[in-house]
A and B are shown apart, each in its own frame.
Chain A
Amino acid sequence: DQQVKQNSPSLSVQEGRISILNCDYTNSMFDYFLWYKKYPAEGPTFLISISSIKDKNEDGRFTVFLNKSAKHLSLHIVPSQPGDSAVYFCAASAGVGNTPLVFGKGTRLSVIA
């Protein structure tokens, strides 16, 4: 039973346009959410996170939105660049830090020049 779901296995976007990656979760105990980016043959790299007490967090071209009532979060990348092509994982934590993360299956983003 997947507690964190990324329902789009892949997404293709033109360079310069906005990329929107979605994530849904089922566990109400999750209180912190993270996005990781993964290139082939490398480990996941932390990208951006959001606490459940916020509904938006922005870092440069990356913004994460959280809708707690819908148990939904999304990652916006604007403008998208070819170097953003990677697999993006949504992850959630139910503890007060230092606890295991629960990951979705990932969405492969392809940014076309």
Chain B
Amino acid sequence: QSVLTQPPSASGTPGQRVTISCSGGRSNIGSNSLHWYQHLPGTAPKLLIYRNDRRPSGVPDRFSGSKSGTSASLAISGLRSDDETYYYCAAWDDSLSAYLFGTGTKVTVL
């Protein structure tokens, strides 16, 4: 079971800004890099943000990440219909010696 907690859902209208939180602890977010994945079920997940706030090439700057202490957040600005999918935070946990995915957030574009 994951110890990275995300809200199950988030929503917004096209053009709005949506923020997704990821709450963890000292042994995971507090000690290691936090990453974000975008995942349409049945397809390969996509690395969206890595090492807290870096964007891989090809990821629009509408997506941004931040981390503070044992929490992190993903912001999507200028929300588009194709942003409607699932988002997962992830980090290594030193205590569990395991990689943890967050509980996942489904973003809906209204």
Whether both chains belong to one complex is answered with no
Residues in B lying within 8 Å of A, measured CB to CB: none
Q: Which residues of A contact B (CB under 8 A)?
A: none
